[in-house]
Amino acid sequence: MEYTNHYDSPLGGITLASDGEALTGLWFDGQKYFGATLAEGCEQKELPVFEQAHQWLDIYFSGKDPGFIPPLVMKTTPFRKEVWEILLQIPYGKTMTYGEIAGKIAKQKGLGNMSAQAVGSAVGHNAISLIIPCHRVVGAGGSLTGYAGGMDKKVQLLSMEKVDMSAFFIPARGTAL
């Protein structure tokens, strides 16, 4: 059985999902790929993991690093899980490029290189937004590129984390929007 819960954030509603023990999803309501990993027939319920996630979100939206991560279960492919685990290593207030992540994956696999586009797809399908910080991933040269929750939210999240935004730009066109 899968369970859901709701959180009202300063940037809009957030839906959380759990298998009863760990967090399996966290999406801004209506975002791209919203609920893509949710099973049909979820039940709305209060659970200890949702309380932990609400505490994490309260601290995060107060402009501080929560300093802990609620229990997570990544319901995804092995490749996406590798990418998402690298995302968890990006410190609060810092960013990393798709190319840097691709380089880390290539090194882990003993490959000469890895497609930054494949990494981008894995980042874009992150089912546990914010806690697995996909908003901290930027394109080469300072392009903010897309964010499933919306470019405006990505800018607000990075600004809230006090990331120096002077080196970044929002692309005027292309698939990154």
pLDDT tens for each residue of 101-116: 999 999 999 989 998 9
Distance in angstroms (rounded) separating the CA atoms of residues 59 and 168: 26
- Catalytically annotated residue among 53, 105, 134, 163: 134
Arithmetic mean of pLDDT, 13-17: 96
Q: By three-state DSSP, how is residue 31 classified?
A: coil
Distance in angstroms (rounded) separating the CA atoms of residues 114 and 103: 6
Arithmetic mean of pLDDT, 42-50: 93
Arithmetic mean of pLDDT, 63-75: 97
Bridge partners for 15 per DSSP: 6, 27
34-43, 76-85, 133-142, 152-161: least confidently modelled range:
34-43
Which residues make Cβ contacts (< 8 Å) with residue 154, sequence separation at least 6? 135, 144, 147
Distance from chain centroid for Cα 163 = 16
Bridge partners for 8 per DSSP: 13
35-39, 44-48, 54-58: least confidently modelled range:
35-39
Is the predicted pLDDT of residue 173 greater than 70, yes or no?
A: no
- pLDDT given at position 41: 77
Tokens of 45: 């319920």
Is the predicted pLDDT of residue 158 greater than 70, yes or no?
A: yes
Arithmetic mean of pLDDT, 27-41: 78
134 is a catalytic site residue: yes
Note whether 38 and 25 are within 8 A (CB).
yes
* Amino acid type, 133: P
